[in-house]
Amino acid sequence: MGLTGGIATGKSTVSSILKSHNIPIIDADVIARQVVLPGTRSLRKIVRAFGPEILLSDGSLDRKKLGSIIFADEHKRKQLNSIVHPAVRRAMLWEVVKCWVRGEKWCILDVPLLVEGPLWRLVGLVVVVYWYAPPLTPNAAHDPILQPSRDPTPTTHAARQFKRERRVCSTQLTAPHHKKNRICGHYYRQFRDESTARQSGCSIC
């Protein structure tokens, strides 16, 4: 099964819920770090493409420096993706094979850009996690915790956090999901707090 979702939607929370049911999770972000560890073929390719200066003193990848290079150059970003993405896909498929050998009934491919890439074609079900923000009540405008302040107090932090949450929710609702709508078999609505999400039950387990 493929699990995906946008930024700050709570995909990791859903992943942890599934993991608590002893369902194996194959996390693309974790594997992306593993395939560029010192001594790996992918890291050697990256060094050939970008030079030894992108390595730290211990031989590991300097992600900050590499990020600054690809952020300013679309061609270099695509070059890096052409090295890392195939390695990640191969590693994920190998993990799926190992799950099959162990006789697992399910395994989860946790991939942020599952639908945008080719991996969704390899799963039997795609689950999209989206973030749900309850509508503002008429009294919200008068809630002291949400009132702006010039002082760096917890109230200011809470207000900024609330605005960030609303902005993320707005992005999730207005972003183009045409492709997701065509191929996704299940949508899991995430709530403001993790306890509510767990109480609501994980119907995809």
Q: How far apart are CA 187 and CA 171, in angstroms?
A: 17
Range of the domain at 47: 25-105
198 and 126 within one domain: yes
| Spatial separation of the C-alpha atoms in residues 187 and 60, rounded to whole Å | 38
Let me know whether 132 and 189 are in one domain: yes
Reduced 3-state DSSP string for 160-199: HHHHHHHHHHHHHHHCCCHHHHHHCCEEEEECCCHHHHHH
Residue 112 lies in a domain: no
Structural domain contains residue 66: yes
pLDDT in tens, 14-24: 888 889 999 99
DSSP letter (8 states) at residue 175? S
Query: Do 41 and 97 reside in the same domain of the chain?
Result: yes
Contact 131, 194 (CB under 8 A): no
Question: Is residue 61 within 8 Å of 54, Cβ to Cβ?
Answer: yes
The pLDDT tens digits of the residues spanning 114-153 come to 877 778 788 888 888 877 655 555 555 555 544 444 444 5
Q: Is residue 113 part of a domain?
A: no
Judge if 6 and 57 occupy the same domain.
Answer: no
- Number of domains observed in the structure of the chain: 2
Band of pLDDT at residue 160, cut at 50, 70 and 90: low
Q: Is 153 inside a domain boundary? A: yes
